Structure 1
Amino acid sequence: MNAPVGEIKRGRKFDQVLEGARKIFLADGFEGASVDLIAKEAGVSKATLYSYFPDKGLLFMEVATCECQRQAEAAVTEIDPNRPVRDVLRLVAERMQDFMLSDLGRGMFRICVAESGRFPELGREFYKYGPRFVRDSIVPFLENATARGELIEIEDPELAAYQFMELCKAELWVKCLMGLECDFTPERRKKVIDGALDMFLARYGAGA
């Protein structure tokens, strides 16, 4: 399969097409998602779909990047620079967990990884609108908290942000991604977040 060709064009039913494609891609993957199925799910004709997306690869990339951006933005809306560090990071962690453990989050991640060899730019976009977007939103908060005296001076705030993001995924993400277990109780999810906060603040908290 060659790289996607053509240009995306927007129209009245653009969002409708994206939503239909999102459902089909997550259910059937890239290869199994036919244009006929996507058009049917979106409630449009194939001609309309092709008028917006002349290549299925372009449609897939748009769905993936839009979904990553939407979920990342939902997570960082919880960042209030004036609230205590533990409270803000807990809210961000909860939003991150909600997405990554959901059917949508797992499905999108698997598809992006599976198709990154076919579409190298997809990996770059996934990273840009997912992990990097969250990191870039956490870093200013950490710097602000340092200025307020809640955190010690952090030599590498970007690394610290990544460290916190990874701590929030401990055990749960790997088991869920590999299909071993996904239905974690609220208590178990909270335990992971509590541990992430305790470890992060033990390293960077001003009172540690």
Structure 2
Amino acid sequence: MHTVTHPPAGNSPAPKAGRPSVDEAAQLTQRIVAVATQLFVANGYAATSVDAIVRGAGISKKTLYARFADKAQVFDAVVESHVLRHLGTPQDDVPPTGTLQEQLNQVGARLLVGTLHADVLGIYRVAVAESLQFPQLMRKVFDAAVLRAVEQVERLFLAGLVPPPDARQARQLAMHFMNCAISPPFYRAMQGLEPAGVDEARRAQLHTAVVYFLHGVLGAQGRSLQAAD
């Protein structure tokens, strides 16, 4: 009869390393993006190498290239990450309520909080600084951040003005609203003239901008507001 013996406790062979779980893979990608964000903001796009990113993330190049084709794709992920985190997607937004003026204040406040976040300002500065050498960076930031914000505003005009504007007019109105209410504090903060973040003074400035904007739009276009539900 054969005797079955067992290895002493504590000496069991270590399990073989396998593929990371979905959660582990996502966390690793997030770490790469977080490290890349810090490096891009601190050093700029051109001065940030793939070697620096992998060193900072504590990974190999093979691991990075399994997720991103090149440094440009890493930057794309950085931009997309901050847009989703700070500006949100239209599907994630809590629907605004009340009159058009109240809805513009609600959406405008969310956009200010997002655009005036220190990380968003830093990424935008990188894109501006590198725009001549890498124009695709500025296009990526504009398409991901600015246009996504504009889409949130134009839907309010389509639903809140009588007669309703067509799609082209709604886009123009939304761009004008951004230039009137969101862009001035954003550019002052981006240039370092004012701090990042939103305080009561900035919220008051937003409310004033909304009033002036609606007065100009309604007067110039002969439109009225939809009755609030």
TM range (shorter): 0.7 to 0.9
- For residue 168 of structure 1, give the secondary structure of its aligned residue in structure 2: helix
Give matches, 1:1-208, under 5 Å.
Answer: 12=25, 13-73=28-88, 77-78=92-93, 80=95, 83-146=98-161, 153-154=164-165, 156-169=169-182, 171-182=184-195, 186-204=199-217, 206=224
TM-score by length of 1: 0.76
1:124-174 deviations in whole A, cap 9, x for unaligned? Answer: 32222211122223222211112xx5xx55472111111111222364233
Does the Cα contact within 8 Å between 2:41 and 2:123 map onto a contact in 1? yes
Percent identical residues? 24
Pairwise CA RMSD of aligned residues?
3.0
Note the residue ranges of structure 1 that are not aligned, 5 or more in a row: 1-9
TM-score (norm 2): 0.70
Question: How many aligned positions are there?
Answer: 194
Instruction: Provide the rounded CA distance (Å) in 2 between the counterparts of 1:123 and 1:59.
Output: 15
- Structure 2: runs of 5+ lacking an equivalent: 1-21, 219-223
Q: What amino acid is aligned across from residue 200 of structure 1 in structure 2? A: F
CA, structure 1 residues 73+203, in 2 after alignment: closer, same or farther (shift >3 Å)? same
User: Which amino acid is 1:72 matched to?
Assistant: L
Alignment deviations for residues 2-47 of structure 1 (CA, whole Å, 9 cap, x no partner): xxxxxxxx99233332222122212222133233432233232233
Q: Max radius of gyration: which structure? A: 2
Summarize the Cα distance change of 1:179–1:75 in structure 2 as closer, same or farther, 3 Å threshold.
farther
Asked if 2 retains the 8 angstrom alpha-carbon contact of 1:71 and 1:99, the reply is: yes
C-alpha distance 144-110 of structure 1, shift in aligned 2 (>3 A): same
- In structure 1, the partner of 2:221 is none
